[in-house]
């Protein structure tokens, strides 16, 4: 009796569950169909993904910038050789092309110069070259505008104190007084080092930078420092040296131990007159 | 009229020569200790007795004894500022030998003796140090606070312009 009654209750509950959950079952069924169908699922998910992708695109540098930079740096450091292998041929080509162009231009200039100078001037040079031992290459280079030595600045500096006695400058190279002091300190340091050797007093004569050189000529109480640009051939150097010696012979005020502003002004004027 | 004079800052290492130099020229003070390599030259123009004085200042790397400094740095100097550290006796223990050496190589040069870092010690300590020195200390300074730095260089300038 009891069992029959229980069966009835179960049946009635099942009917009730079917009635109550009918709607939900249909919904679950539909969702299952969407999940199972690739097209249906794509139709619904694609707009969400598109929005997300657009947002990442817009905010990529802010969100991932640091991580990407760190990763790129790491990769670059680890792949130095690889990068060099990849870009070297390209750089080599560019450098070769540039040098080729420059050599071409130089060749044209030399041709023009040779044409101009196969004349009396050329024969005059050949005779001088035989007498004074000037090389053809030196002479040709000195004839080309791009290689001609140019005095950019010239200074007269007291030998021990490094105080400026006069200057003439065409470039903007900062304070000439400080230049004089530092150059004297560098000169003194080098000379002190070599003084310890057995070869007697040594003088610093030239400081060589890429495009500029500082030529120095020492006298008893002072020295000249000329900032030069271009090719300094042996003959150009000798010419400048002679000119400086002549200047020193003519200007007795250079020996002033306590130069006044008038002395400096006078010497600077004379430098301009002779070396501009 | 413009006049130029060469002035050397010398003394043992770490006494504050570069700090005095920077304080006077740039009005700056840096707490870090950066040792001077070789020499640094800079310029300050001051008005002294109706003249414009170009003070060419050579800040020389410190050495425990002055005869270790390359002699050529001193040549032609019109004035020498000898700096010692009021807090470190090793920087003034050889002061007499150093000053005699400087006066010997620069017989006509003006030498000023300066006790630096006065901000780190008491007035009693300063009094005790300078009264026991075998030479007269001209001035005590602090490159950190700037105390007496301007006066030191200006008094040197005045002494050099006759």
* Least confident window among A83-97, A152-166, A221-235, B129-143: A83-97
Q: What is the pLDDT of residues B118-133, one digit of tens each?
A: 999 999 999 999 999 9
Q: Which of B4, B42, B80 to mutate to test the interface with A (most CBs of A within 10 A)?
A: B4
Question: Which single residue is written with the structure tokens 């400080």?
Answer: A178
**What average pLDDT does this structure show over B17-30?**
90
Distance from the B59 Cα atom to the nearest Cα atom in chain A, whole angstroms: 11
Of B107, B102, B96, the C-alpha closest to B74 is B102
What strands, in cross-sheet order, belong to the sheet with A206-208? Answer: A164-169, A150-158, A222-229, A212-218, A206-208
Chains A and B: how many Cβ contacts under 8 Å?
A: 66
What is the value of ipTM here, to two decimals?
Answer: 0.84
Helix (H) / strand (E) element for A164: namely strand A164-169
Residues 6+ apart with CB under 8 A from A236: A142, A149
Q: How many residues in chain A? A: 276
Contact B76 A162 (CB under 8 A): yes
Q: What does chain B look like in DSSP terms, one character per residue?
A: -EEEEEEEEEESTTSSHHHHHHHHHHS---SS-----SEEEEEEEEEETTEEEEEEEEEEPP-SSGGGS-HHHHTT-SEEEEEEETT-GGGTTTHHHHHHHHHHH-TTSEEEEEEE-GGGS-HHHHHHHHHT-SS---EE--TTT-TTHHHHHHHHHHHH--
- Residues in chain B with CB shorter than 8 Å from the CB of A263 are none
Looking at residue A144, its pLDDT comes to 59
Q: For A188, which of B2, B5, B70 is closest by C-beta distance?
A: B70
Q: What is the pLDDT of residues A136-171, one digit of tens each?
A: 666 666 565 556 788 999 999 998 899 999 999 887
* Least confident window among A30-39, A74-83, A259-268: A74-83
Q: How far apart are CA A39 and CA A27, in angstroms?
A: 19
- Residues in chain B with CB shorter than 8 Å from the CB of A188 are 70, 72-73, 75
Question: Which single residue is written with the structure tokens 């700096």?
Answer: B83
Of B73, B81, B82, B76, the C-alpha closest to B41 is B73
Looking at residue A143, its pLDDT comes to 60
- Residues in chain A with CB shorter than 8 Å from the CB of B48 are none
**What average pLDDT does this structure show over A93-119?**
74
For residue B14, what is the domain's CATH number? Answer: 3.40.50.300
Looking at residue A190, its pLDDT comes to 82
Helix (H) / strand (E) element for A265: namely helix A261-275
Q: What is the pLDDT of residues A163-222, one digit of tens each?
A: 999 999 887 777 888 999 999 999 888 887 777 665 666 788 899 887 789 999 998 889
What distance separates the 2 farthest-apart alpha carbons in chain B?
44
Q: For B72, which of A177, A191, A262 is closest by C-beta distance?
A: A191
Domain span including residue B55:
2-160
Contact A181 B6 (CB under 8 A): yes
- Residues in chain B with CB shorter than 8 Å from the CB of A159 are 76
Q: How far apart are CA A105 and CA A100, in angstroms?
A: 9
Interface of B with A in 8-47 (CB under 8 A): 38-39, 41-43
Q: Which residue of B has its CA nearest to A183?
A: B41
Distance from the B44 Cα atom to the nearest Cα atom in chain A, whole angstroms: 10
Looking at residue B94, its pLDDT comes to 94
Q: How far apart are CA A185 and CA B39, in angstroms?
A: 7
Looking at residue A8, its pLDDT comes to 87
Q: Does residue A173 or residue B153 have the better pLDDT?
A: B153
Contact of B4 with chain A, judged by CB distance below 8 Å, is answered with: yes
How far from the centroid of its chain's Cα atoms is residue B71's Cα? 17
The SS3 of residue A222 is strand
Q: Give the number of domains in chain B.
A: 1
- Please check the confidence at residue A257 and state whether its pLDDT lies above 70: yes
Q: Which residue of B has its CA nearest to A179?
A: B41
Contact A160 B72 (CB under 8 A): yes
Q: Kindly report the average pLDDT of chain A as a whole number.
A: 82
Looking at residue A259, its pLDDT comes to 77
**Beta carbons of A230 and A148 less than 8 angstroms apart:** yes
Contact A188 B6 (CB under 8 A): no
Question: Which single residue is written with the structure tokens 């040594």?
Answer: A202
Which residues on adjacent β-strands are paired with residue B116? B85
- Please check the confidence at residue A225 and state whether its pLDDT lies above 90: yes
What number of CA atoms fall less than 13 Å from residue B140's CA on the CB side? 18
Q: What is the pLDDT of residues B67-117, one digit of tens each?
A: 988 888 999 999 999 999 999 999 999 999 999 999 999 999 999 999 999
Q: Which residue of A has its CA nearest to B2?
A: A261
Q: For A177, which of B3, B4, B72 is closest by C-beta distance?
A: B4
Q: Does residue A231 or residue B43 have the better pLDDT?
A: B43
């Amino acid at each position: 009796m009891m069992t029959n009654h229980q069966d009835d209750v179960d049946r009635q509950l099942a009917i009730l569950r079917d009635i109550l959950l009918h709607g939900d079952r249909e919904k679950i069924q539909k969702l299952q169909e969407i999940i199972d169908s690739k097209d249906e699922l794509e139709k619904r998910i694609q707009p969400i993904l598109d929005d997300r992708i657009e947002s990442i695109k817009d905010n990529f540098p802010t969100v991932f910038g640091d991580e990407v930079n760190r990763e790129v740096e790491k990769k670059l450091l680890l792949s130095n050789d690889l990068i060099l292998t990849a870009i070297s041929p390209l750089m080599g080509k560019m450098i070769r092309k540039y040098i080729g162009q420059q050599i071409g231009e130089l060749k044209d200039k030399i041709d023009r110069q040779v044409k101009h100078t196969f004349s009396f001037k050329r024969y005059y040079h050949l005779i001088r070259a035989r007498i004074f031992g000037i090389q053809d290459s030196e002479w040709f280079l000195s004839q080309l505008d791009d290689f001609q030595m140019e005095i950019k600045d010239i200074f007269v500096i007291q030998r021990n104190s490094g105080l400026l006695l006069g200057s003439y400058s065409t470039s903007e190279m900062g304070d000439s007084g400080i230049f004089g002091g530092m150059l004297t300190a560098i000169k003194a340091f080098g000379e002190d080092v070599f003084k310890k050797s057995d070869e007697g007093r040594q003088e610093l004569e030239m400081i060589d930078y890429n495009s500029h050189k500082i030529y120095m000529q020492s006298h008893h109480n002072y020295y000249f420092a000329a900032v030069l640009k271009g090719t300094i051939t042996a003959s150009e150097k000798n010419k400048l040296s002679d000119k400086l010696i002549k200047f020193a012979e003519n200007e007795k005020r250079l020996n002033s131990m306590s130069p006044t502003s008038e002395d400096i002004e006078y010497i600077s004027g004379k430098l301009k007159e002779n070396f501009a | 009229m413009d006049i130029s004079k060469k002035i050397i800052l010398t003394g043992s290492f770490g006494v504050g020569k570069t700090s005095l130099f920077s304080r006077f020229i740039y009005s700056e003070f840096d707490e870090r200790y950066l040792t001077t390599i070789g020499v640094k030259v800079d310029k300050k123009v001051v008005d002294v007795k109706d003249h414009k004085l170009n003070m060419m200042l050579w800040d020389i790397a410190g050495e425990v004894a002055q005869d270790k400094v390359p002699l050529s740095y001193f040549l032609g100097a019109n004035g020498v500022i000898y700096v010692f550290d009021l807090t470190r006796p090793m920087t003034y223990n050889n002061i007499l030998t150093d000053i005699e050496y400087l006066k010997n190589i620069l017989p006509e040069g003006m030498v000023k003796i300066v006790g630096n870092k006065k901000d780190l010690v008491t007035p009693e300590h300063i009094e005790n140090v300078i009264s026991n020195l075998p030479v007269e200390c001209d001035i005590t300074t602090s490159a950190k606070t700037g105390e007496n730095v301007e006066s030191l260089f200006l008094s040197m300038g005045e002494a050099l312009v006759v």
